[in-house]
Structure formats: C-alpha cells, structure tokens
A and B are shown apart, each in its own frame.
Chain A
C-alpha cells in the first residue's frame, strides 16, 4: 500500500526522525501548523495546501495524469 503523509510543520522533525529510524522515505506534504482550533476559513486554507500537495504526489506516483 502506497502512502502520503500530510504533516504539520511543527511535527516535521518528528516525522523525519522516525523515518530515519525506520529507514523509510515517506512522501510528505507539509502544511502550516496547527490544523486544530482553526476558524473555517483558516482550515480551508490548510485543506487547499494539503490537497494541492497530495495531488502533486499522486501525479509523481503515476496515479493521476
């Protein structure tokens, strides 16, 4: 199963360190921190960023043209 990780910027160091420990190279989409406690407009901005990043990764994986 192929995967893409959507990670908030503050948690990027944790994800990178974990990936190193597990010898993994995850596909990462980084969005501004946080995603909790946001207004609907703020959350929509995070969603747009995440969606654009996921689409780009899916294209690079050959899942989308």
Chain B
C-alpha cells in the first residue's frame, strides 16, 4: 500500500498547519511538510535499522515514515541516525514504551547523546543544553516524540493519558559534556570514547539543584541529596532509574575533593532519604501494598530513592554556573543506551 498522500497544494504555512491539525498530526507547533523530495533527501545515506512495532497502535514504522517525521520536526539528514538509535533504544523491552506512553505520569523520552556525533551535529551539551536555542537538540527530541505520536498513536487525551504532561514532551534532548572530570556515562557503560551513543530514559523534566554557597563536594552532595528526597517522585515507590546531571562547575568541585561517580552514587544512596513523616499515612499504606517500606532505626525511619544505588546514573552537562539537575524517571523504565548506526 502506498505511503504517499496527495494533499491539496498549500502555499500558506498556516493552511498547512490547519491541514495537519485536521488529521490529528503534530505537537501543536509548526512542522515542515514531508514532501517526497524532502523525505528522499533525508534518507540519502541513511543506515539500515530494524525497527519493531510501536505501541500503543502496534504499527511498525518504516524508514520512510521515520524520515517523514524527521522532516516534520525540522531534522537534517545527518540527524537521522541519532533519531534511529533513540527509536531503537525506546523499543528495548526494559524501557517499557507502552507503559511510558499511556501513563498519567508526565514522563517524556529523554535523549542523552554522547561521543563525537554530539559535536558533529552541533548538539548542545553546554549552556542551556536542556533549553531552547539549538536546532539539533530541538529537532531530534521532537522527531522522536512525533514518531511515537504518529506511528505509535500516542495521542494526548486518548492513548497518552498524562494528567498534566510536561514541556519535555515537545522535545527532551541534550548532549553529554566533554567538560567532565570523569569518563563519560557512555564510556562507563561500556562504549568506546570514539563511539556515538544515545541513552534514553522515560523521565520527568529536570529538577534544578541550585547550590552557589557550598565550597566542597560534600556540601554540594548535601544539596543534591535534599533535592532527591522528594516524596512525590515515582522513584520512591515504583523505584527504577534516575539521573544526576551535574553542571561542570559542581562536577569540578566534586572531582577536586576526590569524588568519583561511584562514590557519589554510594553517598547519595545513603543520604538521599525521605523521612517517614514527609509521606502521608495514606501513601505509606499504599507503598506497603506495593512492597515499599522505610528502613533505618525506629526513631529515624526513611524511604530510599529507588531500590538500588546502581539505579542512579551520573553524567555531566551544562555551562557556567552553580546548577545541576536531578532527573527522576517514570520508575517502570530503564536507562537504555544504543550506538548510533
């Protein structure tokens, strides 16, 4: 069956937006029409990647439909391999794509790009890397969301049941910085430093960790631990992965004081605790039903953030300034990494 649609010519950008809206396409922002010519250009030199069916619709995207969405999002042909890697990553069973799309939780597919491909595509890993202003960050994350919307069928209000959603559902992509005192997250996960790697996680938007006053790594971690100790995150009771995205200045201070990703993780496991009295009695009862109970001595019972220190992933990104970010997840998901083909 042909995948080509013959639409009335629309010379006006607003008419094209209206045509998309009528068909239930898009995220509400303007999109580039995926003409046959543009899709062909997007696919020139594209790698061959096997893709599986996308929930909730169960339709398996073709390279052409992925490319069409990439065009609509504003991608360049060079961005397509990163999009394909991200798409393959969210299809890993551990990512739990169906659950993350249909949930009432506001999670979005976060895409972290590591390795030389980051600079080759101009993916921002520096200042405002999770914000607006860089085409690659904007369009790669957006294209992934559009594929999940158009092919997967994750339409807000129908199959995407998010109570409030989040701005991250438009796009959620940044680079992992080389301005890090430690090997990158991708390298620590077993990839080569010369490989392009995409890591995805169904994540909440970043929770800021503002710490301008601390002068030691231990002090910074006290602030991080306090930020992580939130009774309202899924990581408290669903558990699962979460990400600490350290700003390079915080990372430098931690490194100066001898901290490593491993010791940071162990420290935060011990110190990011949610006191029992911060959790409502009703929630405590519910947590028990889900097998989650506080630990510690009777006078100091507290909940851990997730159920294993290894669930905390650590990376460096951002520019100048004394800010970091804690990124909780949907819980029932995983941080999945894939090589860029």
A residues near B (Cβ < 8 Å) are: 10-11, 13-14, 17-18, 21-22
Contacts and interface: CB of A to CB of B under 8 A. Distances in A.
B161 A17 contact: no
A14 B102 contact: yes
Contacts of B161: 10-11, 14
Nearest to A23: B58
A22 B58 CA distance: 8
A42 B57 CA distance: 34
A55 B277 CA distance: 42
A17 B56 CA distance: 8
A18 B158 CA distance: 10
Interface string B27-58: 00000000000000000000000000000111
Given A11-B161, A14-B159, A21 B153 contact: yes
Nearest to B102: A14
B213 to A, nearest CB: 39
B158 A17 contact: yes
Nearest to A22: B58
Contacts of B102: 14
Contacts of A17: 56-57, 153, 158-159
Interface of B: 56-58, 102, 153, 157-159, 161
12 contacts: A11-B161, A13-B158, A13-B159, A14-B158, A14-B159, A14-B161, A17-B56, A17-B57, A17-B153, A17-B159, A21-B56, A21-B57
Nearest to A18: B56
A14 B158 CA distance: 5
| Shortest beta-carbon contacts, A-B, top 4 | A13-B158, A21-B58, A21-B57, A17-B159
| Secondary structure type dominating chain A contacts | helix
A14 B58 CA distance: 14
Contacts of A22: 58
Contacts of A10: 161
Contacts of A14: 56, 102, 158-159, 161
Contacts of B159: 13-14, 17-18
Nearest to B57: A21
Contacts of B56: 14, 17-18, 21
Contacts of B153: 17, 21
Nearest to B157: A13
Nearest to B98: A18
Contacts of A18: 56, 159
Contacts of A21: 56-58, 153
A22 B161 CA distance: 19
Nearest to A11: B161
A22 B153 CA distance: 13
B339 to A, nearest CB: 31
Nearest to B55: A21
A21 B101 CA distance: 15
B285 to A, nearest CB: 12
A22 to B, nearest CB: 7
A5 to B, nearest CB: 15
A39 to B, nearest CB: 12
Nearest to B158: A13
Nearest to B160: A14
A14 B55 CA distance: 12
Contacts of B58: 21-22
